[in-house]
Amino acid sequence: METIPTEIITIIIGLFLLFFGYRLKKIAITIIWFIVGFWLVQQFIGYIHIESQLWQFIICCLGGLVLGVFGMTIEKFAVFVTVGVTFGMSVMQTFGPAADWTLPAIAVAVGVVAGVIAAGLIKPMVIIATSIEGSYLALTYALSLLNIAKPEGLYPVALLAIAAVGIVFQWNSCRNIE
């Protein structure tokens, strides 16, 4: 279980992405890439054998910063990968864990297709991707903070409903922004 401050910060980041992801897309892309970088380093930090949790956290933050800066500087490629990873991870997190290769293969296919579309249609895809990621972060960590288990059949529906609210809000508030 995460700590309460971490959950609250993650919920705030999720709400930020949900409602303002496109308006501040460089920051949103940086945040998503930071999260991916932090998570990737966290997955492999156990192999380095660093005892101090503080140093583990610092190393994970450095991994997040490296990918965050990368995502911010190469925007179109970053949008392709960010949207692809967001859609692929959403498939895995919503319908996982995978019992065989089928779900990961579908997640990769969905991610690649979404990424290719995103490269050509940056505005709508960034709005959709940030709304989905924001919905996932806000809902998942709010349930965790409240110590409520993910409701089996309702979780994907709630996730998509919250994302839809974010998409509509962002689309209406960003009409004149390119």
pLDDT digits (tens, 9 = 90+) for 122-174: 888 888 888 998 999 999 999 988 988 888 888 889 999 999 999 999 999 98
* Tokens 């409701």, located at residue: 151
- Name the burial class of residue 150, with classes exposed (0-12), middle (13-18) and buried (19+) by CB atoms within 10 angstroms of its CB: middle
Non-local (6+) Cβ contacts of 147 within 8 A are none
Most confident of 23-27, 109-113, 116-120: 109-113
Q: What is the pLDDT of residue 62?
A: 94
Q: What is the pLDDT of residue 171?
A: 93
Q: What is the pTM for the complete model shown?
A: 0.65
Among residues 157, 136, 146, the alpha carbon closest in space to that of 93 is found at 136
Answer yes or no: are the C-beta atoms of 134 and 15 closer than 8 Å: yes
pLDDT tens, position by position, 33-81? 888 888 888 888 877 778 888 888 899 899 999 988 887 777 777 778 7
Among residues 161, 178, 166, the alpha carbon closest in space to that of 17 is found at 166
For residue 102 the two structure tokens come to: 């089928």
